[in-house]
Chain A
Amino acid sequence: MPSLLSKLQKINTTTTMNKNYFEIKRAGINTTFQDQGRSNLYHIGIPFSGAMDNRNFQISNKLVGNETNSPVIEFAYQGPLLKYFGDDIKCAIAGDVKFIIRKNDNDIEGNCYQSFTLENGDEIDIITTNKSVYGYLAISGEFNLEYQWSSCSINTKANIGSNNGKRIEDTQKIYISKINKDLNDKKLNYINTKIEKIRVIKGTNFNYFSEEGKNIFFDKEFVVSKLSDRMGMRLDGPKIENIVDTNIKSEGLIKGVIQVPADGNPIIMLSDHGTIGGYPKIGVVISADYDKLVQLTPGSKVKFQEVELSSAETLFKLYDLETQNLISQI
């Protein structure tokens, strides 16, 4: 039973929280709070979740002077329309995003990778991501969020994380518990590039597929299907023939695993994936390519390219250095 004291504390925090907030005038397609995600829970069926594009997530935070793993608003395709009430606050958007800052009915074209100030009554209208899926909105301060397993990341499949584990909805309010003042505007020169070749390491069931199937996997073009979300990305293309068994005994999955079910079309596991699966694993996307993989929009054409483990490790080191380098430029 919740004690009277904790009830009182709750009332106190909400009253002080009411001062600075966003009102959601349009929620967008898939708008959630995300941070670095939660680890060590695969064994009970809970995936990492967290920001899909880790690089842009970290950059958005640095642009408003936050720790790089602070909670942000992640949106996909059409983002939210937010009206702000409260003291001046700095915000920044990372990704390839078309958005408008509305001040007294004046529309100002927004620039990604450049912090801006919101005043009482201003709006941010995130119209769409360009040739990409995810974008990130960070504020110079803290959202008032609940944490589960040290993360606020919303997992809508298991209703875990902040906002009762549900995506952000129309008309709801997002409260801000802390604003960091006296912050200089920050900027980064960065252009997102689109990946065309997804580099993979052969999977543990690579030999379940016919020689022709293996060649198709590495030679032919695949198209990202509309049936893609935070859980997984489905691809269409020439069928990959299985010659051993279209099922395996269910076993663990990780981010980036490419499963091929009986229909011969690959599915790539993404951050909210089911933790156990029973389809053969033909490959695993290398860690260095994950951020760019998740940004592929439906209809994008991709090819898979094989790399060895040692190259994958080096490529990740380089990618991580590049990310750290970008962050240090802000």
Chain B
Amino acid sequence: MIKNISNLGDAALYCDFGTEVNKEVNNKVIRYFKSIQKENIDGINNLTPSYNKLIVSFDLRKKNFQTVKKLIENLNVINDDKLESNKIKIPVCCDEKFSLDIKRLEEKLKISRDKIYEKFFNKEFFCYMTGFIAGMPFLGDLETELRAKRLETPRVKVPKGSVGLTEQFANVYTFESPGGWNIIGNTPIVIFNSSKENNPNLINPGDAVTFEQITKDQYNNYNE
């Protein structure tokens, strides 16, 4: 299933599942990720699944590229049906205060904001991966009419909770961070909670995510 395994530096394996980005390919990545996680192999100290790649980091004192490669090649990969998937609803307020790039998107995409929101809020998204900053979910796929490039000059600070779009993906900024996604709203809910060590992320790879529009009042009075 892995098309090619190469080394990324001297302490990581770069498992390439191809160039396409879709649920099927990502599902293979996640199955490998969970299978390696389950084996709890001494010396493997990190795993980074993404759309179509899996990076396996290891402690060079205990393992090396050849030994880890062999382990991955002979891995017992779990089946599809064993993968968990939760359905998660994220409230989003699109008040002007939050929808920083909606005007820009109207111009870029040449459709009205109502249409943008209609399409966005009626879509069920799939979580491909989490990361960049802690807990940030990378969700897909946006319909072709909503696909826009990143801002040409990224923002130095994107507010925490911002919901952004770029290309075929949507995401939520779990922390204030630099970033270049087109921001269309903001969620009051906590997506990353570091006090829950066993499960700090609200959204995990494989989950199904929908967004629900809320008013400014609902946003301000939001209680989890």
Contacts and interface: CB of A to CB of B under 8 A. Distances in A.
A256 to B, nearest CB: 6
Interface string A271-284: 00011110001001
A148 interface: yes
A204 B6 CA distance: 8
B167 to A, nearest CB: 9
Interface of A: 39-46, 48, 148-149, 157-160, 165, 201, 203-204, 249-254, 256-257, 274-277, 281, 284-287, 309, 312-313, 316, 320
B8 A45 contact: no
B177 interface: yes
A300 to B, nearest CB: 22
A158 B192 contact: yes
A272 to B, nearest CB: 11
A225 B48 CA distance: 28
17 contacts: A41-B46, A42-B55, A44-B130, A45-B135, A48-B46, A158-B134, A249-B21, A249-B52, A250-B129, A251-B52, A254-B46, A254-B55, A256-B9, A276-B50, A276-B138, A281-B8, A284-B8
Given A40-B45, A42-B57, A257-B9, A276 B131 contact: yes
A284 B9 contact: yes
Contact of A313 (B6, B60, B136, B174): B60
A302 to B, nearest CB: 17
Given A252-B53, A254-B12, A254-B55, A45 B132 contact: yes
Contacts of B177: 157
Contact of A45 (B7, B61, B131): B131
A137 B192 CA distance: 32
Contacts of A204: 6, 8, 14
Interface of B: 6-12, 14, 19, 21, 33, 45-55, 57, 60-61, 64-65, 129-136, 138, 174-175, 177, 192, 194, 197, 200-201, 204-205
Contacts of A313: 10, 60, 64-65
Prevailing SS type, chain B contact patch: loop
B135 A254 contact: no
Contact of B194 (A42, A48, A160, A275): A160
Contact of A40 (B47, B65, B135, B136): B47
A157 B8 CA distance: 25
Contacts of B175: 157-159
Q: Name, among B9, B60, B197, the residue most crowded by chain A CB atoms within 10 Å (CB to CB).
A: B9
B48 A42 contact: yes
B91 to A, nearest CB: 22
Given A44-B201, A287-B60, 13 more contacts: A42-B131, A45-B130, A45-B132, A45-B134, A48-B46, A159-B194, A165-B194, A250-B50, A251-B50, A254-B8, A254-B46, A257-B8, A257-B9
A39 B47 CA distance: 9
Contact of B51 (A43, A251, A274, A284): A251
Nearest to B128: A250
A44 B131 contact: yes
Given A159-B194, A254-B8, A44 B134 contact: yes
Nearest to A316: B60
Given A159-B194, A257-B8, A249 B50 contact: yes
Contacts of A39: 45-46
A254 B131 contact: no
A271 to B, nearest CB: 13
A39 B65 CA distance: 18
Q: Name, among B12, B135, B177, the residue most crowded by chain A CB atoms within 10 Å (CB to CB).
A: B12
Sorted nearest first, the 5 A-B pairs with minimum C-beta distance are: A252-B48, A284-B9, A252-B55, A45-B131, A312-B10
A158 B133 contact: yes
A201 B46 contact: no
A48 B64 CA distance: 19
Nearest to B46: A42
A149 B45 CA distance: 13
Contacts of A251: 48, 50-53, 55
A284 to B, nearest CB: 3
A276 B136 CA distance: 10
Contacts of A309: 7, 10, 65
A201 B7 contact: yes
B104 to A, nearest CB: 19
Contact of A203 (B8, B49, B133): B8
Contacts of A320: 60-61
A43 B134 contact: no
Contacts of A43: 33, 46-49, 129-131, 205
A52 to B, nearest CB: 16
